[in-house]
Structure 1
Amino acid sequence: MSVSSRLRAAALAAGLALLAAPAAEAGTIKLGMTTWVGYGPLFLARDLGYFKEKGLDVELDIIEEASLYMAAVASGELQGNASTIDEIMKYRTPENCFKAVYALDDSHGGDGILAPADVASIADLKGREVAMNEGSVSQFWFSILLKQAGLTEKDVSITNMTADDAAAAFMADRIPVAVTWEPHLTLAKKENKGKVLISSAETPGLIVDVVSLRCDVIANQADDVKALVEGLYKANEYIKTNPDDAYAIMAKGVGGWLSDPKDFAASAAGVNFYGRERNAEFFGGGAAGEAGKLVALGGEIWGGLGKLKMDVKYDDLVDTSFLAK
């Protein structure tokens, strides 16, 4: 039985009630994540043997619901996950300790808002129905856009749907506006359906994916965490020098709607993969730098919506000690 199957009943019955986490097994790190192009480097490093050559086995589980893979992290079933910074903030508690150790990518056009052709700006959404996945990065991003336009969620009518369902509803004329992601943005363009009102290409640095690990793993498996980071550095360089081969390997590993290398390559155009230099830039400056400001913004948005379980500060969520090694 898969990790997601084993956890579904427990997660639905008990939510995120914390269990006593078992001791981490040295030499192995298990991560959970959704199907997303930005997580391709994890599969690339695994399949090219970059982790293995450092004595590390990395197991990657596709679990399409954040609540499920975060429950797995809390219970010790998984050692960590790949997700957006804002997403993991909602699950951080004093008892459930995990920290980001590596930044994978940022969305650079991979997320967007589908709207009627006559809508010219975010301000024009006032009074309209908007479909999006509440509690997800879609809501986080949309809330920021509303704030920048001088609006709040009270100025629109939100219908809670997954990003995929929101796009389907938009294409079927059942919803006028949808917050979604690829491949739906490209499909809407191909079918000349409405318009992409705004994409994440216009809001750099707001949707950033990271690898986060439980604090006991960071403390007790330092060599493994170092191997994980070094393997991802190598994978990022391979993408630069051998993009076609890299896309083919990542497409096979990630699978799902990204299983075709052509689809993976097209979707990869909507993200910026982070390597050694970009990680140094992103985490540079600590709480006053890019990552720190994003954590502060996450606290402001999710805190204002009542989604946080504690006041999450930069040092509660980030450990950069392995990036320089």
Structure 2
Amino acid sequence: MRRVLAAAAAFVLLSAGACSEGGDGAAAEAGAPTTVRLGFSAWPGWFPWQVAQEQGLFAKNGVTVDLTYFDSYTDSLTALSTGNLDANSQTLNDTLSSVSGGAQQTIVLVNDNSTGNDQIIARPGIDTVADLKGRTVAVEQGTVDHYLLLLALQKAGLSEAEVTVKPLLTDAAAAAFVAGQVDAVGAFAPFTTTALGLAGSKAIATSADFPGAIPDHLVFDAEFVKAHPKEVQAMVDTWFDTVAWINDNRDAAIAIMAKKGGVSDADYKTYDAGTTIFTHEQNLAAFTPGQTPANLDFQARSIAKFLVDAKLVDEAPPLDGLLDPTFVKAATP
């Protein structure tokens, strides 16, 4: 889940030709109406797409969408990188990893920032990040939660070498933690709920401690954006309509999203503060170039450095053309 997939992205250059022949999406005639193949997976900032589908908001904006839910977030990354999706809901980390492997992708919208729903959770007796020295932490290597762990260690004056990182997929990492196999775990909602099921466990660091470090996005195949700007605009417009509908119909929206996430309505409500869904104004601010964690270009440079330093990619991914604010600027929510 929410996993960097540089290896899969690397073979996009080999598969692109095969995927473009007779396919949909970016392969369709430029300017001709086309169905948008959109992927999403288990994260509170992406479940609103399910609301959009069930409430007919895609149709309201004149776009036909083939919405696919992925139990495995990794599979959604692969699908976009190999031409089996036109757009996907994914993190900035993962987008940069795919781009470093040769994928041509464009970020057109900020869905949300993680403001607490990514957590480092520790067993009883470990009260601070500094207490992790010499301990074992399960985390999905290369993910935003690995990134969060490194940020937290750095803030506490520790290096990654001073802890033992046990690489596991996020669901398996949470299960290993509850089973007592590791001392701490890096996880995101809804798997934080699993991890906190261990009696006495608690979060010792969260994404709320590092504002702006974990943004989530609507990411398109770059060629699709060039060929079908009307559909891209309709998708961005649908997002803002969906956010408005959720705000006006909170209980009904939570019921839809909780059902898709496989949790109770009560549990889903606990995720509210930990995922900040971005408004139109927040999107405009994020796409504005700057030198603070609130600016996407700043975060892209910071995460690119992390990917290189963690040896997850060989060299920093190119950032030219990665961020396209055109559609957010044109939206009129």
User: TM-score, normalization: structure 1?
Assistant: 0.86
1:3 aligns to what? none
- What root-mean-square deviation, in Å, do the aligned CA atoms of Structure 1 and Structure 2 show? 2.4
Change (3 A) 1:247 1:309: farther
1:19 aligns to what? 16
Structure 2 residue matching 1:27: 3-state secondary structure? coil
2:99 aligns to what? 92
1:227 aligns to what? 234
Change (3 A) 1:171 1:250: closer
Structure 1 residue matching 2:326: 3-state secondary structure? coil
**Whole-angstrom distance in 1 between the partners of 2:81 and 2:188:** 28
2:42 aligns to what? 35
Deviations 1:252-275 (A, max 9, x none): 4xx2424x4333333334211112
1:273 aligns with 2:277: yes
**Which amino acid is the alignment partner of residue 283 of structure 1?**
F
The count of residues paired between Structure 1 and Structure 2 equals 311
2:305 aligns to what? 300
Deviations 1:187-245 (A, max 9, x none): 55565332211222222211111010011111010000000000101111122222112
**Whole-angstrom distance in 2 between the partners of 1:172 and 1:240:** 38
**Whole-angstrom distance in 1 between the partners of 2:171 and 2:242:** 29
**Whole-angstrom distance in 2 between the partners of 1:274 and 1:298:** 20
2:323 aligns to what? 318
Q: Which 10-residue stretch deviates more, 307-316 or 210-219?
A: 307-316
Structure 1 residue matching 2:186: 3-state secondary structure? strand
**Which amino acid is the alignment partner of residue 282 of structure 1?**
A
Change (3 A) 1:279 1:40: same
1:44 aligns to what? 51
- Between the aligned residues of both structures, percent identity stands at 27
Change (3 A) 1:94 1:112: closer
The answer as to whether partners of 2:42 and 2:73 remain within 8 angstroms in 1 is no
Q: How does 1:213-252 map to 2 (within 5 A)?
A: 213-252=220-259
Q: Which 10-residue stretch deviates more, 231-240 or 310-319?
A: 310-319
**Which amino acid is the alignment partner of residue 153 of structure 1?**
E
State which of 84, 101, 111 in structure 2 corresponds to 1:104: 111
User: TM-score, normalization: structure 2?
Assistant: 0.85
State which of 124, 135, 139 in structure 2 corresponds to 1:132: 139
Change (3 A) 1:312 1:82: same
Q: Which 10-residue stretch deviates more, 308-317 or 77-86?
A: 308-317
The answer as to whether partners of 1:27 and 1:55 remain within 8 angstroms in 2 is no
Change (3 A) 1:297 1:186: same
Change (3 A) 1:205 1:147: same
**Whole-angstrom distance in 1 between the partners of 2:71 and 2:194:** 21
The answer as to whether partners of 2:123 and 2:198 remain within 8 angstroms in 1 is no
**Whole-angstrom distance in 2 between the partners of 1:256 and 1:242:** 18
